[in-house]
Chains A and B, each alone.
Chain A
Amino acid sequence: MKPAPFHYEAPRTLDAVLALLGEDAKVLAGGQSLVPIMNFRLARPATLVDVNRVDELAHLRKRDGVLHIGALTRHATLERSGVVARGWPLLRQAVRHVGHPQIRSRGTVGGSCAHGDPTAELPVALTALDARFHLRSRAGERVVDAAQFFVSHLTTALHDDELLVEVEVPPLPAGARTAFVEYARTHGDWALAGAAVVVAPGHAAIVLLGAAPTPLRAADAEAALAAGAGAAEAARRAGALVEDEWRAALTSSLVRRALEEAGA
């Protein structure tokens, strides 16, 4: 099928974008999630606001130890970046699992987060890194954390007139090791389960992919790990959060693998 007709705008500044956002306007960034949905006519936005020409969204920089990822940063750029590889290896580990090379050429960090698919890799990794999300509208800017940003299946805290402009990621704790694992039936297919983990002295983050309508922090498992439990016990507790028996077993197994990879 082909998409239903729509009005198209390609503004070049952030202000111009914000002026266009509203009830029946959809933001087009990488298009790797939105356009298939439009091709199937499951979504028929009246206006498409193409943000690909906006410079203010295209940065990737480290300042005072904090990583600032502009919403338009392509997955491929995240994958290639030396700054990311050195300071936030979890992002590199996660983004390599996103779709295929062609998808990573166009897909964006902002788009992946704003789409809010609980089986997407970056939202899970960013949650494990305690990322903060900068939302801008004509009225101003607000910053929310991952738990507030990811609300439900394909639903985020973004209002109709708001744009995700940047994801801010604090530095990893000293001595941190990270791992990202997932299971999909075929390579590049939507993952059935997965986990992002950060293990450091006195700090543990275990976030589950596909276990809930949003990335799910396995707080109980994290506490166990911090209290000295081993990977197996933490993995068991993480799996206990998942309803389906087979998915719980799969999740446990993946969490265990991730924790062992990260040296827990």
Chain B
Amino acid sequence: MRIGVDVNGRRKDADVEPRTLLSDFLRHDLGLTGTHVGCEHGVCGACTVQVDGEPVRSCLMFAVQVDGRSVRTVEALAGDDDDLHPLQQAFHEHHALQCGFCTPGFLMSLEPFVRDRPDASDEEIREALAGNACRCTGYEGIVQAVRGAAREGR
């Protein structure tokens, strides 16, 4: 089926099978491998991207579903001159990543959260993180990065 999608601000046209998952479309058809695939059943959060501004599990959507919609992946975060996005900078400063596999999913989930809830408590931050699993860091650095990014934004 032919689809036309706005991906990171650019229109992409493609021909896909209905069963092609959005995660696979982004990675294989578009070469945007920043989005990672962990569990393929919606529990790990590594595949999180933004569709029309909302964080969603790309392994639980089909590419055909985003025809005419806008999709944003982690590749869109850094500025054109490769300046790190404030949230990426905060992750860097607070050691919120080690192997980095879960990181794109965290960033795409947290970007709207930091924007909408800059005054969130630690408890609320941890609730917001609940949909993303990290095997390396133990999450403390991630919570601190969110606090740091929220502070910076003010």
Q: Which residues of A contact B (CB under 8 A)?
A: 1-8, 10, 28, 31-32, 35-36, 39-40, 48, 50, 52, 76, 99-103, 105-106, 187-188
In the complex, the answer to whether B131 meets A103 with C-beta atoms within 8 Å is yes
- Ordered nearest first, which 7 A-B pairs have the shortest CB separation? A100-B131, A8-B18, A36-B41, A105-B54, A35-B60, A3-B19, A187-B130
Q: When the two chains form their complex, are residues A102 and B41 in contact, meaning their CB atoms are under 8 A apart?
A: no
Given the complex of chains A and B, what is the CA–CA distance between A6 and B17 in angstroms? 9
- Checking A5, A8, A35, A50 against B42 with a beta-carbon cut-off of 8 angstroms, the contacting residue is A35
A36-B42, A40-B41 are contacts. A5–B131 as well, Cβ < 8 Å? no
Which chain A residues border B48 with CB–CB below 8 Å?
102
Contacts of B132 in A (CB 8 A): 100
Q: Is the CB of A4 within 8 A of B19?
A: yes
How many chain B residues touch A (CB < 8 A): the figure is 29
Query: Whole-angstrom distance from the CB of B80 to the nearest CB of chain A?
Result: 28
Q: Are B18 and A102 in contact (CB under 8 A)?
A: no
Q: How long is the Cα–Cα vector from A39 to B19 in the complex, in angstroms?
A: 9
A159 CA / B126 CA spacing, docked (Å): 41
- Are B40 and A39 within 8 A (Cβ)? yes
Q: Are A102 and B65 closer than 8 Å at their CB atoms? A: no
Q: Which residues of chain B from 36 to 95 have any CB-CB distance to chain A below 8 Å in the complex?
A: 40-42, 45, 48, 54-57, 59-62, 64-65, 67
Given A1-B40, A101-B55, A102-B45, is A48 in contact with B18 using a C-beta cutoff of 8 Å? yes
Complex Cα distance, B45 from A1, in Å, reads 17
- Rounded to whole Å, the gap between the CB of A70 and the closest CB of chain B is 18
Contacts of B41 in A (CB 8 A): 36, 39-40
Interface of chain B, main secondary structure: mixed
Please name 5 further chain A to chain B contacts, defined as beta carbons within 8 Å, in addition to the given A31-B60, A40-B41, sorted by A numbering.
A39-B59, A48-B18, A102-B56, A187-B130, A188-B131
- Cβ of A5: which chain B residues have Cβ within 8 Å of it? 17-19
Q: Which residues of the partner chain B approach A106 to less than 8 Å between Cβ atoms?
A: 54, 56-57, 60-61
Which B residues are in CB contact (< 8 Å) with A32? 42, 57, 60
What are 12 A-B contacts with C-beta separation under 8 Å?
A1-B40, A5-B18, A5-B19, A31-B61, A31-B65, A32-B60, A48-B62, A100-B131, A102-B48, A103-B57, A105-B55, A106-B56
A120 to chain B, nearest CB (A): 14
Decide if B128 is an interface residue (CB 8 Å cutoff). yes
Asked if A2 and B60 make an inter-chain contact with CB atoms under 8 angstroms apart, the answer reads: no
Q: A35-B42, A187-B127, A187-B130 are in contact. Are A2 and B57 (CB under 8 A)?
A: no
A52 to B109, CA, bound (A): 22
User: Does B1 touch A at the CB level, under 8 Å?
Assistant: yes
A51 to B113, CA, bound (A): 28
Find out whether the CB atom of B127 lies under 8 angstroms from the CB atom of A103.
Answer: no
B17 touches A105 (CB 8 A): no
Query: Chain B: which residue is nearest A36 at the CB level?
Result: B41
Closest to A1 in B: B40
- Given A2-B24, A39-B41, A102-B48, A7 and B18 touching (CB < 8 A)? yes
Q: Is the CB of B21 within 8 A of A52?
A: no
Binary per-residue interface labels of chain B (121-151) against chain A in the complex, 1 for a CB within 8 Å, 0 otherwise: 0000001101110000000000000000000
